[in-house]
Amino acid sequence: MLKIRPHHLMCMQMYTGHGYDCKFVLHMNEVVSKLDKINIQEGCDEICTHCPHKKGQCVSYEKVKRLDESVLSCCDLHYGEHVRWNEVAKKVRETIFETPMFEKICGDCGWYELCCKTYNELR
């Protein structure tokens, strides 16, 4: 069972092979290929292990904590909850990506424009 923080439930759906560096991309490819059962994790998760922003702990902690809390609230999810990827991905798409919440939650993220483009291509 993969341990995944809430905002990564959005990021993984729009992932297209771009990342911070080659090491991160290779790891993200591996994680995405194994999506099935997920434990919603508080704090650093499986994806964070190869993130260049993790210097002992996340240097973007306040921002990602806000993202995590927004996803939990919007999607009625809870830390420690066990979910199936296909079910939670659908819930996130319907609750966030298909509503104005997408821009509200992710609008200040550096990946936002790429995610918008990816989302529009998937529709």
Task: Give pLDDT, residue 51.
Answer: 84
Strand pairing report for 2-4 and 37-40: parallel
Q: Whole-model pTM?
A: 0.91
Query: What is the distance between the alpha carbons of residues 62 and 89, in angstroms, rounded to a whole number?
Result: 24
Task: Give pLDDT, residue 18.
Answer: 87
Give alpha helix (H) positions in 1-123. Answer: 8-14, 22-33, 61-75, 85-92, 101-106, 112-122
Enumerate residues 6+ apart whose C-beta is below 8 A from 101. Answer: 70, 74, 95
Q: What is the pLDDT along the chain (123 residues), one digit of tens a residue?
A: 999 999 999 999 999 998 888 999 999 999 999 999 999 999 989 999 888 777 777 778 888 999 999 999 999 999 999 999 999 999 999 999 999 999 999 999 989 999 999 999 987
Task: Give pLDDT, residue 115.
Answer: 93
Of the candidates 98, 123, 121, the one whose C-alpha atom is nearest the C-alpha of residue 10 is: 98
- Dihedral class, residue 99 (left if φ above 0, else alpha if ψ from -120 to 50, else beta): beta
Any idea which residue has 């771009």 for tokens? 18
Of the candidates 106, 85, 98, the one whose C-alpha atom is nearest the C-alpha of residue 7 is: 106
